[in-house]
Structure formats: C-alpha cells, structure tokens
Amino acid sequence: MTSPIYVLNGPNLNRLGTREPDIYGSTTLAEVEALCHASAGAVPLEFRQSNREYEIVDWVHEAIDRPAAGIIINPAAFTFTSIAVLDALKMFPRPILELHISNIHRREDIYRHSLVSKIATAVIAGLGPRGYGVAVQAMLQLTDRPRGT
C-alpha cells in the first residue's frame, strides 16, 4: 500500500474563494482539494483544513505514525506564530513542502517571517491556488527521501 501525502491547511483557508480574490484567487478549498487529487493520480492524499492549532499538531503526529510519504502544509497564520506546529513538523522525517498561495515576501512585515521555512524541504509561494498542484507534483518526486535531501 502506497504511503499517503498529507496536505494540511491552517486557519481561515476554509473561506478561500470568498474574499480578497486579488491576493488569493477565486478558487474554493474544495476545488483546491480536487486539483490536488487530480495531480496525485493514484497516490493517496489526506487533504485537511483546521482553524485549530492543536488539530494541525495532531495531524502532523498522525502523519509521523502512519507514516506519510510527505507533508505539504499551508500553515496560514500559524506560519508566523506557532512554535507548536514547528515542533511537530521537526519530528517528521520525510519531505515537508511549505506552501503559500500568495507571495508572503511581497506582503506586510507581519507576513514575512516564516517559522516553518527553516525546517521545510522547500517553499512554494505566490503561484496562487495552482501552487497546490505544483506542490503535489514536487512531492511525488521527493517522496520516500529523508527530509533535506
């Protein structure tokens, strides 16, 4: 049985497609999920979203224990604030792709210092919702490698 790829999404991303289309596009999270499955083909994918920090931490633990082949994570606001999410991700031994719909480096200062980037295998930012498809393709190439190689 092929190990799944986890795609984890942080707070407010359940509202994707409903506001700020100039920054985040008009694609909904359900459409993003369908895009990820299309991009993954036969590889199983666990696509999740939560507004609760502990739930993201629990899902990273689940990905460690299962084990998942890799984690794609858009931590949203937790990118900049959550040492709990960072500590959980540090325990995951396989590739981690940090993903942002917008280019966080072009944004206001509060959105520019990611805690997660330091431990991510790679960062994808600014490609809009289609960045998720790119991330899944990249993860398929990285899968089963230790993190950082």
Q: 11 — phi, psi (to 5°)? A: -60, 140
Residue of the chain from 19, 61, 105, 113 that contacts ligand CA2 (CB under 6 A): 19
Q: Is 130 in the site for ligand CA2 (CB under 6 A)?
A: no
Q: Is 15 in the site for ligand CA2 (CB under 6 A)?
A: yes
Q: 99 — phi, psi (to 5°)? A: -125, 135
Residue 100: active-site member: yes
Amino acid (1-letter code) at residue 102: S
Nearer Cβ to ligand CA2, position 69 or 135? 135
Contact 101, 74 (CB under 8 A): yes
Nearer Cβ to ligand CA2, position 20 or 58? 20
Q: Taking contact as CB under 6 A, which single stretch among the options 15-23, 33-41, 89-97, 135-143 is the one that binds ligand CA2?
A: 15-23
Residue 111: active-site member: no
Residue of the chain from 56, 101, 115, 120 that contacts ligand CA2 (CB under 6 A): 101
Residue of the chain from 111, 127, 130, 143 that contacts ligand CA2 (CB under 6 A): 111
Catalytic residue among 100, 105, 111, 113: 100
In 3D, which of 63, 44, 47 has the Cα closest to residue 9?
47
What's the residue count for the chain? 149
CA neighbours closer than 13 Å in the CB half-sphere of residue 100: 23
Our CA angle for 41, 13, 18, nearest 5°, is 105
Where on the chain is the footprint of ligand CA2 (CB under 6 A)?
Answer: 12-13, 15-16, 18-20, 24, 74, 76-77, 79, 100-102, 104, 111
